[in-house]
Structure 1
Amino acid sequence: MSPLPPLKALQAFDALGRTGSVALAAADLGVTPGAISQQLRKLEEAVEARLVEHDGRGLRLTPLGTTYHAQIRQGFAAFADAAATLREASADVIVLSCLTTVLGKWIGRRMRDWTALEATARVSLVGSDAEPDLAQGGVDMRIYYGGRRHPPHHAELFVDHIVPVCAPALIEGRHLSGPDDILRFPLLHIAWDPRFGANPGWAEWGRLIGARPPAANLTYGLSGSAIDAALAGQGFVLGQIAFIGPELETGKLVVPFDLRLPLPEPYYLAWNPDSLRKTGARAFHRWLLGEGRAQGLVSAPPSRG
């Protein structure tokens, strides 16, 4: 006798035992009555025992089949319990989706502050450029850029600004008398995904200072990659303040002239209201909004009083 009968055969047998007829078992599993009968034959062949018999109206379990079904039912109940355990284990995980660079260069760096406040809340961070459908339930919250597509529940986080930054070694021993001197160094450009619209670049910053920059030496598709290139000393980048805070604090990046340009649109937080029932979700939601407000103050140009 085979120790492991086919799973489909066991499912057909269990359905017959639960429903009492081949027709109802077929409806329960979404298959044809013929498929049920075929699987029952396979099971009897596998266990080498007679489990079902005709009673004049259809198939029913034999006494041995009834005993066997009681054991099989326990097994399927255990499967159901295991699935429920998994659902319960994942039910309170708060899933936050962000653009890749937003995750790596902004909110991901702040999560230690959150865990210090809410050590019991569990958060899963997902970096994705695809906008999730929050109504489907796989993602609870989303940090996104721009206002062309607003989910029903959303709030503005902050407006970021860009500023020319570089590694200190790039300008070491070089005297920069004015902002236009930056344009004599290699320039790193960031080409955004077209769905986010045009991002301000060196041409726009050049207009701010009344100069015409040369063409950029290198172009990157991700802000994070361009910032990493600047950290490696490859040139100046128009870095978003939100993405370079730690590097500015530690002196790994410097701002020779603090002349900032705002991004055309804000960053937003969207959420599924049903997700706020999860453990710690409301507190996490408030914390994210607070971090956004704080970042907006940091990103804004310094007052010139």
Structure 2
Amino acid sequence: MTSYPPLKSLPAFEAALRRNSFALAASELNVTPGAVGQQIRKLEEWLGVELFIRSVRQVTPTQDGLAYAARIAPALQQISDASAHLRRRQDHSVHFAMPPSFAAKWFSPRMARFLIKHPTTALHVGSTEEKPNFDQDGLDIAVRYFDGNDDSLEAVLLYRGQAAVYCAPSYRDELGLETPTDLVRATLINDTKHHWWADWLATFADMPPEQSRQIKHIDIDQTAMVIEAAIHHQGVVIANPLLTEEDVMEGKLIHLFPDQVMTVPLGYYLVHPKKRELRSHVRLFRDWLLDEARDLVTSQKH
């Protein structure tokens, strides 16, 4: 008898154990449930033990099955990691994710610069408000808006979080908004994911929270939509200057009180797993993105 078990059976065994179902394991492996069952029977015959107790709707691992899985799991993971590492070395693609507002307001206008500079790199871009899952989503690198603290990640600050007040020029003129206290006459557009209005008004208008809550407001749960609402004369928005720079340059928005900008305990960080070596094309993209953001960091220091 060969010293190796039937190797084709091991992925079927691992999937069936994890899913407690031959059918679900078959769906994951793109084979039939019968094929999974056959592979596991081969493994059981080779080992001389029963690995699962079969029932009508599910399968339950035996104690031998659990013990065997615990012993082979590190080896299977090593095979997976080594194979993925070797494949990634030949991969010219970059899989990148970021918050939707960052994608729409800052990254999209700049993306073509990278593709022109590095035409052999295939860039796959996604957006999410959730914490990026590098293994499950196949990501190489991401931008995350958070406080920068995560022991599993390398995190480089791209832009420190700030809260500044904007509105359409015509809205400012119509309401005569000249000082922070004038905002009692405005409609405050509140980003429910980044709600800084109470702190900003307390800091720059000496307004207690109970008073600021009395000001008319609109709650919106998407940052890009919040900014669009301000552009369309719906009220005053508090936003990160990074996300409004293009609209200010085009005259769609005006920064109402440039001297009243509040630093917040969050920021846009470029992140990737600490223990993962970045492929050459990912390093190119990382370096390009840091270079694009360098002027932003410099401008925040002045």
Relative to the length of structure 2, the TM-score reads 0.63
Q: In the alignment, is the contact (CA less than 8 A) between 1:189 and 1:216 conserved in 2?
A: no
How far off its partner does 1:240 sit?
1.0
Equivalent in 276, 279, 299 of residue 277 of structure 1 = 279
Give the match for residue 115 of structure 2: 115
Cα deviation digits, residues 119-165 of structure 1 (max 9, x gap): 22221111112223324570000111223434333322220312110
How far off its partner does 1:219 sit?
0.7
Equivalent in 197, 200, 225 of residue 202 of structure 1 = 197
Give the match for residue 191 of structure 2: 190
Give the match for residue 223 of structure 1: 223
Aligned partners of 1:127 and 1:137: how far apart in 2?
Answer: 12
Q: Is 2:139 the partner of 1:144?
A: no
Q: In the alignment, is the contact (CA less than 8 A) between 2:163 and 2:238 conserved in 1?
A: yes
Change (3 A) 1:293 1:31: same
- Tell me, what secondary structure is at the counterpart of 1:147? coil
Which protein shows a greater Rg?
A: 1
Give the match for residue 45 of structure 2: none
Give the match for residue 261 of structure 2: 260
Matches within 5 A, 1:56-205: 91-135=91-135, 138-145=138-145, 146-192=147-193, 199=194, 201-205=196-200
Equivalent in 34, 38, 46 of residue 32 of structure 1 = 38
- Which sits farther off after the overlay, 247-256 or 212-221? 212-221
Give the match for residue 65 of structure 2: none
User: Counterpart of 1:266 in structure 2: which amino acid?
Assistant: G
Change (3 A) 1:226 1:107: same
Q: In the alignment, is the contact (CA less than 8 A) between 1:169 and 1:233 conserved in 2?
A: yes
Q: In the alignment, is the contact (CA less than 8 A) between 2:164 and 2:238 conserved in 1?
A: yes
Cα deviation digits, residues 48-96 of structure 1 (max 9, x gap): xxxxxxxxxxxxxxxxxxxxxxxxxxxxxxxxxxxxxxx89x9322011
Equivalent in 197, 206, 212 of residue 211 of structure 1 = 206
Q: In the alignment, is the contact (CA less than 8 A) between 1:140 and 1:271 conserved in 2?
A: yes
Aligned partners of 1:205 and 1:25: how far apart in 2?
Answer: 62
Aligned partners of 1:200 and 1:27: how far apart in 2?
Answer: 53
Aligned partners of 1:190 and 1:25: how far apart in 2?
Answer: 53
Unpaired runs of at least 5, structure 2 = 11-34, 43-86
- Tell me, what secondary structure is at the counterpart of 1:113? helix
Cα deviation digits, residues 183-220 of structure 1 (max 9, x gap): 3111111111xxxxxx4522211122233234341011
Give the match for residue 241 of structure 1: 241
Q: In the alignment, is the contact (CA less than 8 A) between 1:140 and 1:275 conserved in 2?
A: no
Cα RMSD over matched residues?
3.1
Change (3 A) 1:202 1:26: closer
How far off its partner does 1:106 sit?
2.1
Change (3 A) 1:30 1:217: closer
Q: In the alignment, is the contact (CA less than 8 A) between 1:160 and 1:296 conserved in 2?
A: no
Aligned partners of 2:157 and 2:204: how far apart in 1?
Answer: 30
Change (3 A) 1:157 1:177: closer
- Which sits farther off after the overlay, 245-254 or 152-161? 152-161
How many residue pairs get matched?
221
- Tell me, what secondary structure is at the counterpart of 2:244? helix
Q: In the alignment, is the contact (CA less than 8 A) between 1:158 and 1:266 conserved in 2?
A: yes
How far off its partner does 1:282 sit?
1.3
Q: In the alignment, is the contact (CA less than 8 A) between 2:148 and 2:155 conserved in 1?
A: no
Give the match for residue 296 of structure 1: 297
Aligned partners of 1:290 and 1:26: how far apart in 2?
Answer: 47
Aligned partners of 1:130 and 1:106: how far apart in 2?
Answer: 18
Q: In the alignment, is the contact (CA less than 8 A) between 1:200 and 1:261 conserved in 2?
A: no
